[in-house]
Amino acid sequence: MLLPVRKYRPEDTELLCRQAVEQFPEAADFVEQGKFNASVGPAETIEINGKPVVSAGIRIMKTDAGEMIGWPWFVVSALAGKYKLSILQTIKSRLYESMKDFGLSRAITDSRKGFEQSQMLLRHLGFKKMEKETDTHYFYELRI
């Protein structure tokens, strides 16, 4: 079952970071990043019972080679737990639809090492782990 989505608002990130699946030191940066991300691509919030549980979007970018790609981002509340399947279906549906709407065939994103929930979400969305990584992050790619 797909859940209701609405246009993303920056205050969603503030709320969701306080309830995030995993607390992380960069949470304050996510609020500013959320504002920026919403200005360079589609961004939406999934609600359950009128309350935000996930904010997500795609930052539209041009690679050095001139290819247009998406850089998906997600902030997931721990309150999302009992709705995992519906949230996964909704994110996947909106991600693929947004990529098609913007003519994107490829998306790349990263996940902090040790953040298993993030990596599991990416795998369930169809992302494949890339060979590229840093000391702190893995990179994932989706092709549609």
pTM score > 0.75 for this model?
yes
- Residue pointed to by tokens 């721990």: 78
The region of weakest confidence among 11-20, 41-50, 127-136 is 11-20
Structure token digits, residue 122: 């990416």
3-state DSSP assignment of residue 62: strand
Closest CA to 79 of 46, 30, 56: 46
Measured CA to CA, the distance from residue 99 to residue 135 in angstroms comes to 29
Q: Go through the domains of the chain in sequence order and give each one's CATH number.
A: 5-143 (3.40.630.30)
Measured CA to CA, the distance from residue 8 to residue 37 in angstroms comes to 10
Per-residue pLDDT tens for 28-48?
677 777 778 888 899 999 999
